[in-house]
Chain A
């Protein structure tokens, strides 16, 4: 994946979940991360749509539940 895009995704995760600027985020999954609830998921999707100029449809959004899955999604969607 383009390193610039990955770095941006990492920064977005840290900002949305209010984590330190050097926090490791690559292993974060919604299932075992308390801060990732339905409200923060909305904020996360909005931030990703805004930053990368995308529109994530509802079906796609439901499956984007980890850093890894979002990274994979962006590698397909972002030129």
Chain B
């Protein structure tokens, strides 16, 4: 959640039960306020937060604790050992280990007296207080262990900004304000005390590297080597959690046989039988998750949803605010904290024989789940925040390698599944046809060329494909709106249902009604009007003419 979205969330909030607490932090917390209110609002709560003056946490801890006020402590290493505060500089000589440990013990004693408190610990780096790097590293580990001992939610060093702490006393990294605020709100509510029960995981680029619908089952990576290593480790964690009682659910935007194909190879660490259920369809993930919760008779606040795609995560967040959503990344700097966060939510100190059998018990209940057709959350405001830039490119001349590759590789969003040889393409273009491609960029980076559209001289859309990597962004609607607004707009689609192109059937159903195979009229005037809101989600540039 970013700044403007947080303000929008507060503005849309119509009120709810109060969430009153004291935010006890030694750093300046002003920049956190709006995000705390927004996250509380997303949970239907009206955050009413008191704060401490800058750098008075030490005195506050020594005073008599308020008897009835919930407290949330946001701690840094220097709140456990004062000497690790960057703003005091380093002492004239290396500190003795004994004095440091005495200070830590006293801080922990005072904090443990706050019986109704929630804790968040930001594992900021510490200055080289002790004599050697090894001793400093050991101290960092001890501070982290101490925070865990308090039951703190631990946030990575990336949540800390040393430059900001120096300049203004605000120790929070600007990009992390939403994550920190979310942890604070959860600590205030007390949800961190209850372990989660159901881990819902996406498949493409989460359980394995690659997109099974585009790359094919033989080109995925999930083994303990190369690109597959992060996914192998993620699967190993899920297997461990399942053996200790966590219920695994798979959710994938795919045809079911495609989603299951990697399991059929029997080469992955995780097996289909490790999952309570696997749901694969083109309907919203929030609807599928809601159905699972109902079928298994489990509350949504016991669910965690893991996906690499921020659009899917936002859809679930909006439709099902009780579900905790976590973005997966195979990046080596982020993977450890993701796996640790999952362990915090699901990990148990001890597990029983019943825990190991829990999946089998629930598989029976889940056997009769049918994919839901309920539509998902409205993502428009989120999609606007992605600052999507659509660049339309004339590919009738010059290099059209990527377009032809898209047409011949894409199965799911493919208007008729027809494959096209180079010679056939040249024949259509020589007769006056057009080949158009489109690239997509957004705040997260560039997706490259993701749309290809071939229009014959008589105005028939002979090929229209879109990469499944950019589903859920309304891109197919926006591109169609752009085509409709051109002076030489197409006149008809050539649609052919295939075993794989259900996403196209759903798209055509929305824009022209229930499609039959064959030629479908392209009503440019109507489409330009009805799909205009989708086009407005994009900053559109057109690079037309000879290339």
User: A42 with B443: in contact, given A49-B175, A50-B3, A51-B2 (CB under 8 Å)?
Assistant: no
- The reply to whether A8 and B4 form a contact with Cβ atoms under 8 Å apart is yes
A42 to B163, CA, bound (A): 12
Most chain-A CB neighbours within 10 Å: which of B163, B164, B170, B174?
B174
Q: Per-residue 0/1 for B148-166: is the Cβ within 8 Å of any A Cβ (1 yes, 0 no)? A: 0000000000000101100
User: A53 with B443: in contact, given A46-B170, A46-B177 (CB under 8 Å)?
Assistant: yes
- The reply to whether A46 and B387 form a contact with Cβ atoms under 8 Å apart is no
Question: Which residues of the partner chain B approach A3 to less than 8 Å between Cβ atoms?
Answer: 539
B322 at the interface (CB under 8 A from A): no
Q: Write the nearest CB–CB distance from B538 to chain A, whole angstroms.
A: 10
Question: Which residues of the partner chain B approach A39 to less than 8 Å between Cβ atoms?
Answer: 30
Secondary structure of the A side of the interface?
Answer: helix
Set B30, B170, B441: member contacting A79, Cβ < 8 A:
B441
Report the count of interface residues on A (CB-CB < 8 A): 23
Within A16-57, the residues touching B (CB, 8 Å) are 39, 42-43, 45-47, 49-51, 53, 55, 57
- The reply to whether A49 and B4 form a contact with Cβ atoms under 8 Å apart is no
Question: Which residues of the partner chain A approach B177 to less than 8 Å between Cβ atoms?
Answer: 46, 50
A42 to B441, CA, bound (A): 30
- The reply to whether A12 and B387 form a contact with Cβ atoms under 8 Å apart is no
Question: Which residues of the partner chain B approach A43 to less than 8 Å between Cβ atoms?
Answer: 30-31
Set B3, B31, B164, B168: member contacting A51, Cβ < 8 A:
B3
A71 at the interface (CB under 8 A from B): no
Set A5, A15, A61: member contacting B387, Cβ < 8 A:
A5
Secondary structure of the B side of the interface?
Answer: helix
Question: Which residues of the partner chain B approach A53 to less than 8 Å between Cβ atoms?
Answer: 175, 443
Set B175, B443, B539: member contacting A50, Cβ < 8 A:
B175
B318 at the interface (CB under 8 A from A): no
Question: Which residues of the partner chain A approach B409 to less than 8 Å between Cβ atoms?
Answer: none
Within B123-173, the residues touching A (CB, 8 Å) are 161, 163-164, 167-168, 170
With contacts defined as CB atoms under 8 Å apart, how many contacts are there between chain A and chain B in the complex?
51
- The reply to whether B441 and A50 form a contact with Cβ atoms under 8 Å apart is no
- The reply to whether A42 and B174 form a contact with Cβ atoms under 8 Å apart is no
Question: Which residues of the partner chain B approach A45 to less than 8 Å between Cβ atoms?
Answer: 174
User: A42 with B170: in contact, given A4-B387, A50-B175, A57-B163 (CB under 8 Å)?
Assistant: yes
Question: Which residues of the partner chain B approach A5 to less than 8 Å between Cβ atoms?
Answer: 387
Closest to A45 in B: B174
Q: Write the nearest CB–CB distance from B170 to chain A, whole angstroms.
A: 7
- The reply to whether B174 and A49 form a contact with Cβ atoms under 8 Å apart is yes
Question: Which residues of the partner chain A approach B175 to less than 8 Å between Cβ atoms?
Answer: 49-50, 53, 55
A79 to B391, CA, bound (A): 14
A30 to B475, CA, bound (A): 41
Closest to B384 in A: A4
Question: Which residues of the partner chain A approach B441 to less than 8 Å between Cβ atoms?
Answer: 79
Q: Write the nearest CB–CB distance from B521 to chain A, whole angstroms.
A: 34
- The reply to whether A4 and B539 form a contact with Cβ atoms under 8 Å apart is yes
- The reply to whether B7 and A15 form a contact with Cβ atoms under 8 Å apart is yes
Within B62-101, the residues touching A (CB, 8 Å) are none
Q: A residues within 8 Å of B by Cβ? A: 2-5, 8, 11-12, 15, 39, 42-43, 45-47, 49-51, 53, 55, 57-58, 61, 79
Give 10 CB contacts A-B under 8 Å: A11-B4, A15-B7, A43-B31, A46-B164, A46-B174, A50-B174, A51-B2, A55-B175, A61-B167, A79-B441
